[in-house]
Amino acid sequence: MSTKIHQNVSIVDFLFEAAEAWPNKPAVSFLGKTQSWLETKYRCHAAATLLSDAGVQRGHRVAYLGLNSNVCFESYYSPALIGAVMVPINYRLSLREMIECVEDCEPRVLIVDENHIEQARQLKDSCESLQTIIFFGDEVTPNGMTSYEEGVQRIISSGAYCELAPSKGDEIVIIFYTGGTTGRSKGVMLSNINFKVNTDCSVPLYRMQRHWVFLIIGPLFHLAAGSRVFSSTALGGHAVIMPKFDVAGLLDAIDRYNINSATLVPTMYQMILDHPRLGEFNLSSLKMLASGAAPLSIGLLGRIVKAFPETEFFQTYGMTEAAPILTSLDSKYQVLHGPNSHKLGSVGFPVDHIDLIIANESDLPLPPNSVGQILARGPNIMKGYWQMPELTKEALKGGWFHTGDAGYLDEDGFLYLEGRVKDMIVSGGENVYPIEVENILENHNAIYQCAVIGIPHETWGEAVHAIVVLKKDSEVSEGELISFCKNQIAGYKCPVSITFREEPMPLSPINKILKTELRKPFWKGRDSSIV
């Protein structure tokens, strides 16, 4: 059932309230350094002042390109303090894709870490909107860039803070770019209300407690990790941030900081459980683990439950457009035996603040156990796609968000996913839209026809696989085609294998390639639906 939220709500209230209630409690740890909540508030205000001095005004976009860091955590708040909009850029994208995102959202300022200096320079050369690059890291600030840390410390020391004018209500806080079925990334516009609703939901949903220690290890350009910025702040928690996923580093952090909570994707769980040094670390502090963003097999669930018998485990189904939670399967159902085990394979029950239905092609509700498209509505649903009014109108048609996923609700209201209406591939927690890859492959002069599908992969869940028909008398190797893709799109989107097909592609009556037929040999004897 939908929930009403006051229009003056602001996500920066989380920060102000934490700093007032628990000023000396640890807020953020990164690379061995810890800052308190009061210090974090001052740093965010100083960073907002830096942005204001660079000409950022209400509604302007501020891009962030870098690995996870305390600066990224602060950037979830600092633009919002002056009514501006944060845009985290996926650092795994190719330069061409980064340029597309930056040209689309037209940020005035780019905050960049020491690992992406060259990309920042090329973005500034290519994108007219970029006026200022703010650098942070251990290296000397490059020529032509402004130092984040020096600026923040100067402002804190002088007390010369800008006047605050936080964004509120339906104003946009963050734009997250996601892959697009059209081949172009979509900027998902999320508001203060969206994040407030999701945070108020997730804290009791996962039974999080005040002052918990949260591990943030998933990339903060994804909302699965980013939502923990808000929940940890709301609880006066301690966010331990790792630059990127590293199994040994993760295990060491849990042991060293007594981590209480972590949200990971299935691939991460598998790599943790397979790590030869797993038994050397004390992981008893873990109170809650969650999994999302990708399929979780029942076999892997069994291993997780066995390895962490005292830890509550949750599975969540959601997406960026929902900020991000739609449903959750409570830990009491994450059992292989007993009366509650009959819900395994479900992604849980819809959360309280949304209405969720299964609809037919006319968007009319279907009865229980009938497969259709999953539609949702509620105060957590995005404002729309940045500068894509027609696509927004289509996605939010009739007041319902059309997820593009197929599933059914059982007689108890638990959701089961049956596949993806839009052929999306989920590889290691990353969404890959086949059309993006197909658009690249079809530009190769040796290819007559191609189709991209997901095939089983023991580590990543699914792997990107291309099936191609070559032009007559043309020759090209698998390696050449993969390299061709890697020069133009992010590595995780590129095919890891290719089938060269001599017979024509299987076609539907309206001459669309039947990907269901192409998948069958790879998935034979396996369940390709999301569980």
Nearest CA among 230, 181, 226, 237 for reference residue 201: 230
Beta-sheet strands, E only, within 128-237? 132-136, 146-147, 172-178, 186-191, 213-216
Q: Does pLDDT of 423 surpass 90?
A: no
Architecture of domain 12-333: 3-Layer(aba) Sandwich (3.40)
Q: How much is the pLDDT for 515?
A: 86
Residue type for position 65: L
pLDDT at 436: 80
Stretch 248-276: mean pLDDT, rounded? 93
CATH class as words, domain 354-420:
mainly beta
**Is the predicted pLDDT of residue 510 greater than 60, yes or no?**
no
Residue 288: partners with Cβ closer than 8 Å, 6 or more residues away: 206, 207, 208, 260, 261, 311, 312, 313, 314, 331
From CA 134, how far away is CA 243, in angstroms rounded? 19
Question: What are the structure tokens assigned to 317, written together?
Answer: 């189904």
- Mean pLDDT value across residues 289-302: 81
> Which whole number is the average pLDDT over 452-479?
92
User: How high is the pLDDT of residue 1?
Assistant: 45
- Looking at residue 180, its pLDDT comes to 59
The C-alpha atoms of residue 300 and residue 344 are separated, in whole angstroms, by 12
Identify which has the larger pLDDT, 432 or 132: 132
DSSP 11-74: THHHHHHHHHH-TTSEEEEETTEEEEHHHHHHHHHHHHHHHHHTT--TT-EEEEESSS-HHHHH
Asked if residue 334 lies in contact with residue 309, where contact means CB atoms within 8 angstroms, the answer is: no
pLDDT score recorded for residue 207: 97
Which residues, 6 or more positions from 287, have their beta carbon under 8 angstroms from its beta carbon? 209, 212, 260, 261, 311, 312
Confidence of residue 460 (pLDDT cuts 50, 70, 90): confident
Q: In the 8-state DSSP scheme, what is residue 412?
A: T
pLDDT per position as a tens digit, 161-178: 999 999 999 999 999 998
Query: Which of 235, 165, 167, 182 is closest to 383 using CA atoms?
Result: 167
CATH topology of domain 425-523: GMP Synthetase; Chain A, domain 3 (3.30.300)
Band (pLDDT 50/70/90 cuts) for residue 405 is confident
**Is the Cβ–Cβ distance between 400 and 375 less than 8 Å?**
yes
507, amino acid identity: L
| Residue 43, SS3 per DSSP | helix
Token code pair at residue 76? 């979830």
Tell me the residue type at 9: V
The pLDDT assigned to 265 comes to 85
Q: How many residues does the chain have?
A: 531
Q: Which pLDDT value is given to residue 425?
A: 86
Task: Report, as an integer, the average pLDDT of 140-158.
Answer: 97
Is residue 328 a contact partner of residue 315, using CB atoms and an 8 Å limit? yes
Which among 124, 130, 134 has a CA at the least distance from the CA of 51?
134
Q: Tell me the torsion sign for CA atoms 54, 191, 182, 90.
A: positive
Does residue 2 have a pLDDT over 50?
Answer: no
Q: Please check whether residue 407 is in contact with residue 400, taking contact to mean a CB–CB distance below 8 angstroms.
A: no
- Tokens representing 509 are 């009556």
- For residue 497, the Cα-to-chain-centroid distance in whole angstroms is 25
From the CA atom positions of the chain, what is the Rg in Å? 23
| Predicted local confidence at residue 453, as pLDDT | 93
User: Quick one: pLDDT band at residue 531, thresholds 50, 70, 90?
Assistant: very low
Amino acid occupying residue 288: M
Looking at every residue in the chain, the average pLDDT score rounds to 92
Measured CA to CA, the distance from residue 328 to residue 311 in angstroms comes to 16
Q: What is the mean pLDDT of residues 2-19?
A: 85
User: Residue 530: pLDDT above 50?
Assistant: no
- Strand pairing of 430-432 and 312-318? unpaired
d(CA 210, CA 14): 13
Report the range of poorest mean pLDDT among 24-28, 107-111, 473-477: 473-477
By mean pLDDT, which of 183-187, 381-385, 491-495 is the weakest? 183-187
Give residue-wise pLDDT tens across range 169-223: 999 999 999 875 556 789 999 999 999 999 999 999 999 999 999 999 999 999 9
Helix residue ranges, H only, 206-244: 223-234
In sequence order, the β-bridge partners of residue 365 are 359
CA distance 161 to 187: 31
Instruction: Report helix, strand or coil for 498.
Output: strand
Which residue's entry shows tokens 């972590």?
262
Cα gap 81→271, rounded to integer Å? 39
Residue-range domain boundaries for the chain: 12-333, 354-420, 425-523
User: What's the sign of the alpha-carbon dihedral 330, 331, 334, 338?
Assistant: negative
